[in-house]
Amino acid sequence: MTTLSFTLDPQNVISAIDPRLFGSFIEHLGRAVYTGVYEPEHPLADEDGFRQDVIDLVKGLHVTTVRYPGGNYVSGFNWRDSIGPKEERPVRLDYAWISKETNQFGIEEFARWCEKTGVEPMIAVNLGTGTPQEAGYFAEYCNHPGGTTLSDLRIQHGRREPYNFRLWCLGNEMDGPWQTGQMNAREYAHKARETAKILRCIDPKAQLVACGSSSSAMTTFPEWDRVVLEELYDYVDFISCHQYYENEGSETDFLASFVNMDNFIETIVSTANYAKAVRRSNKEMMISFDEWNVWYLRGDPWDAPMKDPANRFREAPPLLEDRYSFLDALVMGGLLCSLLNHADRVKMASLAQLVNVIAPIFTEPGKGALCQTLYWPFEMVASVSDGVVLRHQLPVPTFSSKYGDARSVQSSVVYNDARGEIYIFAVNCDFTTAFELDINLPAFSDCRLKEHKVLRSDDLYAKNTFDDPNRVHPEIIDYPHGSLRENTLMLSPLTWNRITLSVARA
């Protein structure tokens, strides 16, 4: 066992945590909506057709925002199809996921679902086949109080008060060749700028997110981001980041995924700072990491429906339904620490996605819902992280990975002064070495160990199933004493940990 000695100082703050760091994402893709959040025939469906078991799990996950309706889907989405009486809504072909969209779940249903789950909506506009004018009409319908044709149409449809959507994404992954309406950076920047001008005219309080590169692996990265930021710096509040990770055969490389996320964020921060200097701006550009997760992309999963003609253009076909392992949960823990450790610039993030499609929550049509392994690291962080992130330095050894040298322990520390608690989040990526924590807290008195919650398994590939839904589940480690100094705090090999300390200022 190796001892790690480090000091925590409540004055050494990276940043306060924006609650929107713990957002998620629902796209009209596969069963994310239909038989995911919306299933009127389900025995637990409420009067609006929403699955109450899913609502309960979303609340338990402590999700704060939800991005909607896409994703790739939004680049062919006509918002007018998703409003008004359901019996009058058109059925359309979805170009992104080769599916059939009934539009039975639309803007009004999403808004009601957000109200019931207590999340803030994050709305994406179509800048693929759509135009700046149509984006403006969409915002007018949603947010203008009344007295115009479109706002009065909303009132006629039963929503008297405006939705007051504040977060707007200006398109999605517009540099991607898979995207309907793909364009180059200057074409996108021009279209997004004109859209931003219209949206701000309609609602000066709107917060706008520009499309960044679709991932750090894109050939357009980071030149796309530079061009877009130079053109849009004065018009938007956030630049987006998207990145997914998968086990490509090396468990050590997979565990080191957080190194790639760190590098991605720091590159975008540098690019944004350059654009700030070019624009002679006083504004700090923030990051919306509004797609991130573990996603097994091998085999081109979006092509699967097209390979068998019988599968083309079905309603809500099961797509991208990854079933996650304990190893995947460890990787997620490391990524969560990266987001926290960059809380000074990453102010929003969206775990993609929320239900069924590469998601922490999985459902069976007409039956039950379960928490995948990914549910637990997210919940363990989101449920308590409403304070400030503290700088800290763990003197840990490193290991080699395809991303470069990686720390054996990836960690983050959150301090909540009002509650008098410190939370230490840590994933031990070492296969054999346990680490003892020797924590120095000179600014505090009466430091006590309140709880040590751990996610562990003797099988890296263990999964939660409907037959065994709690196979991977957090457990509490019992310690014989309350005093911090009377206990040995240990990070066992290949574990995800949340240690809660009760502290009082000295």
Nearest of 463, 466, 462, 464 to residue 369 by alpha carbon: 466
Residues serving a catalytic function are: 173, 291
Q: What is the rounded distance in angstroms from the CA atom of residue 62 to the CA atom of residue 22?
A: 8
Give Cα 324 distance to the centre of its chain: 16
CA dihedral sign of residues 236, 237, 239, 243: negative
Q: What DSSP state is assigned to residue 66?
A: E
**How far does CA 398 lie from the centroid of its chain?**
28
| E strands, 310-368, in order | 314-315, 346-351, 361-363
446: tokens are 């009466």
> Which DSSP state fits 486?
G
The string of DSSP letters for 188-241 reads HHHHHHHHHHHHHHH-TT-EEEE---S-TTSTTTTHHHHHHHHHHTTT-SEEEE
Q: How far is CA 280 from CA 233, 275, 418, in A?
A: 10, 8, 38
In angstroms, how far apart are the furthest CA atoms of the chain? 70
Q: Is 386 exposed, middle or buried (0-12, 13-18, 19+ CB in 10 A)?
A: middle
* Look-up of token digits 């199933």: 465
Token pair of 269, please?
Answer: 């921060």
Rounded Cα distance between 474 and 494, Å, is: 14
